[in-house]
Structures are given as C-alpha cells and as structure tokens.
Structure 1
Amino acid sequence: MRIGILGTGGMADALGTQWARAGHEVRAGGRRSGGLREAAEHGTDAVLLAVPYEAAVDVVAGLAETLRGRTLIDCTNPVGPGFTLRTAGGPSAAERIAAAAPAAHVVKAFNLCHVDVWRLTPPVFDGRPLAVPLCGDDEGALAVVRRLVRDLGCEPLNAGGLDRAGLVEATAALLIGLWVGEGADAQAIAPPVAYSGGRAAPTPVPPEGPS
C-alpha cells in the first residue's frame, strides 16, 4: 500500500518504519521540514495524521481537497495539563478532524500507546498481541486500517463508529495519567474477560494425581 504520513515526529517514525518493513511504500512530510501535501498525495491507500493535536485541525483543513476519499488515520491525543481532555464537553478530536476534511474517511487508531510500544517487533506481552481499538464509519477505510494493525503484529478491535472516538480519547487521558502521573500498572484495572459481564470464571480443574 501507499501510505502518506503527516508529521515527522516519534509516532510518524515508529509506525512508518514498521509499515515500510512490512513492504508498504511510505512517505512522510512535516510542518517545518515541508512536504505535507506531497505526503498526502502519496497516501492513496492511507494517510496517517501524526502531528500534535493543537495543529491537527489546521493541517487537515489545509489538505482537505487532497484528502478527499482517502483513509485518514487519526492517532492524536487531545490531552492537556493535568492529564485533562482538551475536547471535554464538545466534539472529539477525531470528529473535529473529520469536520475539517469532510470528504476523507477518518479512523481513530493507535492513540493508546507510547511511541516506544510501536517500535516493538511485534508488540506482544506475555504471549498476547497488543489490541488496537478502531473507531470509524467507513467499512473500506476500517478494512485498510485493520490490515495495517495486523502488519504491526497487533489485533484490531471494533470500538464502534466515529461518534465513539471520544471514549477512546478519554481512555488515553485516563491511562496516560495513571502511567505517567501515578506510575501505576494501568493494565491491572481490567479483569480477565472470563470475569467480565457478571459471568463466573471457569472453575479450574485440578490435575490428576498419580494412579
């Protein structure tokens, strides 16, 4: 696939390197180094938006016509001082980005992990591949992003339409606050799936003794 990356920071480098390693044609451009439009034009299959949230809407608005009909992956996090959500009480970051480029197909993804996680080959923990929630409304765009998730060695999760992207962004604010602010093992806040939804966990079967 041909992937354009808007941004040249850590996320752009980590994800772009992994996708290039998987055989995709990747081109990145930055706000300061130039080449944003060229990167967007290159990304005929997908465009990753990897600039700080504060600049994201303006960058996308300036490229709205180039992004027409394209899969636009939003990995931004609108997290402010004190691990607060900059978009609280209003549209999510992903919805604002979609409004700035209404003819693009926006998918929220890759925003829950630190850049160093995306440099792992692959991101597998205790034998379990990292799961990546996706929010989007266009099935074709979601299919493209699912493939890109699997190319990282991860598993895509259906997190709903773009109207649920705010929940994923709020989750990022919560997790970042726990990880960075408290040094907590945030993964421990969720029980294993066997215990979820009020279901009783399966009873372990004791090993058979010697006969």
Structure 2
Amino acid sequence: MATISIVGSGNMGTAIAGLALAGGNDVQVVARDQAKVAVDPAVTTASFGDALTGDIVVLALPYPALDDVVATYGDQLAGRTVVDITNPLDFSTFDSLVVPADSSAAAELAAKLPGATVLKAFNTNFAATLASGTVGDVTTTVLVAGDDADAKAALTAALDGSAVRVVDAGSLRRARELEALGFLQLTLAAGERTQWTTGFALL
C-alpha cells in the first residue's frame, strides 16, 4: 500500500483516485478548483498549496500548469515519485506538440525537479477508460515510462487490484513517444473521429 497525492480534481484526477483507492492506497486529492473536489469519503481533500502527503504524487493537470506546480511544490517534491500525465499540445491549433522534438513534457519536468523521480503515465488514457477499466472488450492498459525501476514498480504495485493493467514502456526517453500517442488520441477525439470513451488498446 502506498500514500498517493493527486494534484488535480478533474475527470482524470477523479478517475486516477478511484484506481488508487481500488488498489488499497491512502489517497489525497489536492484541488485547484474547489468545485471539483472528489467526494469519495475515503479520499482526503486539500487545496492547492497545502502540504502533500503522498510518496507518489500524480500531476493530473494540463501541461501549462506544471510550472505552477514546480513553483508551489518544488521543494516538497524532492525525494518523491512524481507522475506526469500531461500531453503538451498546442491547444490553439491542435496540430503540434509544444516541446522540442528530442524532448518531452516529462523530461522538462524532470530537469526542473532534480530531486524527484519523474515517471510518465496515464497520458495515453482517457478518464472514461480508466474509470471503466476497459477499452472496448480489452482491459485498459496504463503505459509507464521512467528511469527508476523501483519507482515504476511502486506505481505498478499501487494499481494492483484496480481495474487496469500496467505495462513498463521503458526509460523516460519513451515519454516522447507516449506524448505523441496521447496527442494522436486527443486529436482524433477532438475531431470527432473517435469518442472520449474510447482509446488505444494493447492486446
């Protein structure tokens, strides 16, 4: 069992909190928008800026919010596992990623948090498929990239008992490919070529 802090109480934060609870973990949800605070009585709620309790901290926020997280929690995140779920899209065009071609949002975050262990996960999933645990008839897969095997194992163990399966996608360098996959999935849904309840499945 782990103690997990989820920064963000929107659809993704709520879905990930549900998975963490199903895995038997202690869960704290830190809300930037008080109107979206998780209502599950098993969840401890806090406001943005309050102390984080988790050894694993999931940043369930849009990419532009990461700098605010670093400014607010940078010192607190040292020694913890930080899970970046963002997809760094250019939301004005929905036609490109805004990080350099040889980098990723996760790599940028790791550079800004040298004392933390950064993982990339959940960015290739929609909230609906995390909540249901399925993509069509297939179990939802959470792909995780990172350079620390123990941190990846801890996140995997924290989700054991939930409705999803976790697959190690390799080093943090693979975050670039995961973000490209997340980008494609988002543009397909936003263009109404697929639905927000669908996703890519790993057989």
For this structure pair, what is the TM-score category when the shorter chain's length is used for normalisation? 0.7 to 0.9
Question: For 1:26-68, what per-residue CA distance to the aligned partner results, in whole angstroms no more than 9, with x for missing partners?
Answer: 111123546334452x102x11111111011331243122111
Classify the secondary structure of the residue corresponding to 1:67. coil
Q: TM-score, normalised by structure 1?
A: 0.77
Alignment match, 2:42:
none
- In the alignment, the residues of structure 1 paired with residue 33 and residue 192 of structure 2 have an alpha-carbon distance, to the nearest angstrom, of 34
Shift of 1:187: 6.7
Shift of 1:182: 5.1
Alignment match, 2:14:
13
Q: 1:32-43 alignment to 2 at 5 Å? A: 32-33=33-34, 35-38=47-50, 40=52, 42-43=53-54
Letter in 2 for 1:114: F
Which runs of structure 1 show a deviation greater than 4 angstroms over 4 or more consecutive aligned residues?
A: 184-188
Q: 1:108-127 alignment to 2 at 5 Å? A: 108-120=120-132, 122-123=133-134, 125-126=136-137
Q: 1:97-112 alignment to 2 at 5 Å? A: 97-112=109-124
Q: TM-score, normalised by structure 2?
A: 0.80
Classify the secondary structure of the residue corresponding to 1:82. coil
- In the alignment, the residues of structure 2 paired with residue 48 and residue 108 of structure 1 have an alpha-carbon distance, to the nearest angstrom, of 10
Q: 1:55-94 alignment to 2 at 5 Å? A: 55-80=65-90, 81-89=93-101, 91-94=103-106
RMSD: 2.5
| 2:179 is equivalent to residue 169 of structure 1 | yes
- In the alignment, the residues of structure 1 paired with residue 180 and residue 141 of structure 2 have an alpha-carbon distance, to the nearest angstrom, of 17
Letter in 2 for 1:76: T
Identical-residue share of aligned pairs (%): 33
Q: 1:127-138 alignment to 2 at 5 Å? A: 128-138=138-148
Over 3 Å counting, the alpha-carbon distance change for 1:92 and 1:22 in structure 2 is same
- In the alignment, the residues of structure 2 paired with residue 83 and residue 132 of structure 1 have an alpha-carbon distance, to the nearest angstrom, of 24
Q: Does the CA-based 8 Å contact 2:23-2:158 persist in structure 1?
A: no
Letter in 2 for 1:123: T
Per residue, is there more helix in 1 or in 2? 1
Number of corresponding residues: 187
Instruction: State the structure with bigger RCO (CA 8 A, min sep 6), 1 or 2.
Output: 2
Shift of 1:152: 2.8
